Structure 1
């Protein structure tokens, strides 16, 4: 796939029936598209990517001061080889931040996913990182909420049909990502689907993102100013499989190049349960149910679906913060119905 064959959607076109039809086709047949006219200029994006590069140029000591191992909420810095996808370690380093919230006390935690609620870790060496990324988080959140509502309209249901699942603001998770050059192509991030409603990706000029189409992997070439959008598993669930969450991956750059990107994931509130929308008869007849992966079942309760991914992706954080009682008991209770995979010697999920 090249830039000419990946659908390009203008956010400002979605007030028209023609624009909504184009959106529906892209989201149901491809699950990936470029978004333009979204209000975040190319220059602004370059500024955010430059800030990301400056973070990764901090000393190892400064980055480790906000290492994710210090956060039971899965926030902060991950060095190379600290995140897993599809059972293999990824060749990238990254900085994760989410909604800024107060952590619950141990006595308040009734469900294991509530442990995800908490503050972010911010490096003292970059005081402008927090306000700048918080501003970006708000902007991208607004874009995804508008896009989610337009997707509902394109499905022939009320544009606000999923508003109750996101409340005053959606649950968001974002990453600054650096893919260092490798001597030969490696798993920058392995093949996966995203667990939320929508993902936005801001790319630099270095290619590497690939989407699964049929039996081949095709490139998602960067287009200046465009954001890459992909459908998440929660939207596949809500549409009973009509909209497609698509496998994608990133191959590490080679020959001295680096790749920088910023990924933004929008989901329903952790406490929400995703409903199956009542589609019009014509679309309903074409909705064949969400895809089934026995090793990674989709859960309609958002908190557990999100937590499942975090526990598997960051085993070092899981072992430190999730394997003691009473969390172990809560995990066993919440995931008792699922096929199990090792987390640590005694905890399985």
Structure 2
């Protein structure tokens, strides 16, 4: 298998035949591969450029600024993870990242409160880079719209009404990871992050143009993912 399917979300703005074609492609991609590249999603190129610029600016901050919002200081698992601060499958991951969720008040925890509510709460933001919060919150809003369109199309692709998932995601819990993989020179291959499955129902992943390394597994074979050129988004 040489690649993964490429789906064009803008077909949902087209004729009934084009909309049906997209739903058919979505059903095949999710059933047969579980992963696809998405173009025509409508996220402005200007926002994508600002998001990457803010990410680069964050990782370029002095270490003291990043460690000031280290995730060990957040009861909600938000904030910065230093290089080598995580392991996957027992091996150290060569990456640093910041975790950002929906900006909401913490849920008061009592003896009858389900444990998962600890995940809701405020984020940790770098004081030296206020624009990160602005662009991250705009990113979450835009990607939430894309995710909602996909879920509604997915429901129809499965023969159900478009609003089948609406109630379950009336108050979604979006979660953003901004990750930097620097790469290393070593005799033995190092992992940016090891093989894993993401949490949640749907992951929308943006890869910086011209970067490689992302792979997905299908039937025991690892497939390289080459993102479509930015001009096709």
- Match of residue 179 from structure 1: 181
2:211 partner SS = coil
Runs of 4+ off more than 6 Å: none
**Residue 56 of structure 1 contacts residue 178 of structure 1 at CA under 8 Å; is this kept in 2?**
yes
Q: Which structure is higher in RCO with an 8 Å CA cutoff and minimum separation 6?
A: 2
Q: TM-score of the superposition, structure 2-length normalised?
A: 0.90
- Match of residue 207 from structure 1: 212
2:205 partner SS = strand
Alpha-carbon distance in 1 for matches of 2:131, 2:176? 17
Query: Which structure shows the higher strand fraction?
Result: 1
Map of 1:142-153 to 2, 5 A cutoff? 142-153=145-156
User: Aligned pair in 2 of structure 1 residues 136, 109: CA closer, same or farther (>3 Å)?
Assistant: farther
Q: Is 1:120 aligned to residue 123 of structure 2?
A: yes
User: Aligned pair in 2 of structure 1 residues 87, 154: CA closer, same or farther (>3 Å)?
Assistant: same
**Residue 67 of structure 1 contacts residue 76 of structure 1 at CA under 8 Å; is this kept in 2?**
yes
Aligned length: 224
Alpha-carbon distance in 2 for matches of 1:166, 1:145? 9
- Match of residue 93 from structure 1: 96
Q: TM-score of the superposition, structure 1-length normalised?
A: 0.61
RMSD: 1.7
User: Aligned pair in 2 of structure 1 residues 114, 40: CA closer, same or farther (>3 Å)?
Assistant: same
Which region of structure 1 is more displaced relative to structure 2, 141-150 or 98-107?
98-107
Which segments of 5 or more consecutive residues in structure 2 lack a partner in the other structure?
A: none
**Residue 8 of structure 1 contacts residue 34 of structure 1 at CA under 8 Å; is this kept in 2?**
yes
- Match of residue 7 from structure 1: 5
Alpha-carbon distance in 1 for matches of 2:229, 2:174? 24
Map of 1:48-63 to 2, 5 A cutoff? 48-63=51-66
Deviation at 1:108, TM superposition (A): 7.1
Q: Is 1:27 aligned to residue 44 of structure 2?
A: no
Which segments of 5 or more consecutive residues in structure 1 lack a partner in the other structure?
A: 228-349
Deviation at 1:188, TM superposition (A): 0.8
Deviation at 1:41, TM superposition (A): 3.5
1:9 partner SS = strand
- Match of residue 245 from structure 1: none
Give a deviation string over 1:237-273, Cα, whole Å, max 9, x none.
xxxxxxxxxxxxxxxxxxxxxxxxxxxxxxxxxxxxx
Alpha-carbon distance in 2 for matches of 1:85, 1:138? 30
Which region of structure 1 is more displaced relative to structure 2, 96-105 or 59-68?
96-105
